[in-house]
Amino acid sequence: MSSTPTDFNVALVGAGFMGRAHSNAYRQVNAFFPELPYRVNRTVLVGRNPTTLAEQARILGWDSWSTDLDAVLRRPDIHAVDVTTSNNSHAEIAIKALEAGKIVLCEKPLAITVADARRMAEAARKAKLPTLIWHNYRRAPAATLAAQLIADGQLGEIRHVRAVYLQDWLLDDACPHLWRMSAEACGSGAHGDLNAHLIDMTRFLTGLEFAEVSALQTTFIPERRKPDGHGMGTVDVDDAFLFLARLSNGALASFEASRAAAGRKNHHRIEVNGTKGSIVWNFERMNELEFFSTDGELRSQGFRTIMCMHGAAHAYAGHYWPDGHVIGYEHTFTNALADFLAALHQGTPYRPDFADGVAAQEVLESAVASARTRQWVNVPHSQSFHGPTVTAAAAAVAGSTIGL
Ligand X SMILES: NC(=O)c1ccc[n+]([C@@H]2O[C@H](COP(=O)([O-])OP(=O)(O)OC[C@H]3O[C@@H](n4cnc5c(N)ncnc54)[C@H](O)[C@@H]3O)[C@@H](O)[C@H]2O)c1
Binding site for ligand X (CB under 6 A): 13-19, 47-48, 84-87, 89, 107-108, 134, 136, 193
Output the smallest distance, CB 149 to ligand X, in A.
24
- By CB neighbour count within 10 A (0-12 exposed, 13-18 middle, 19+ buried), where does 216 fall? middle
Nearer to ligand X, 13 or 342 (CB): 13
**Residue in 60, 68, 19, 88 with CA at minimum distance from that of residue 333:** 19
Nearer to ligand X, 16 or 34 (CB): 16
Which 8-state DSSP code applies to residue 186? H
Output the smallest distance, CB 333 to ligand X, in A.
8
Nearer to ligand X, 13 or 146 (CB): 13
| Chain-centroid distance, C-alpha 192 | 11
Nearer to ligand X, 290 or 330 (CB): 330
**Residue in 7, 8, 12, 42 with CA at minimum distance from that of residue 27:** 42
- CB-based closest residue to ligand X: 16
Output the smallest distance, CB 15 to ligand X, in A.
5
Residue type, 306: I
Output the smallest distance, CB 56 to ligand X, in A.
8
Output the smallest distance, CB 130 to ligand X, in A.
19
List Cα–Cα distances, 151 to 115, 154, 197, 203, in angstroms.
32, 8, 20, 12
| DSSP per-residue string spanning 298-363 | GGG---EEEE---TTTSTTGGGSSSTT----HHHHHHHHHHHHHHHHHHTPPPSS-HHHHHHHHHH
Which 8-state DSSP code applies to residue 210? E
How far apart CA 204 and CA 65 sit, in angstroms, is: 36
Output the smallest distance, CB 156 to ligand X, in A.
31
Nearer to ligand X, 277 or 365 (CB): 365
Output the smallest distance, CB 399 to ligand X, in A.
30
List Cα–Cα distances, 211 to 190, 261, 355, in angstroms.
22, 28, 17
Nearer to ligand X, 240 or 395 (CB): 240
Nearer to ligand X, 113 or 136 (CB): 136
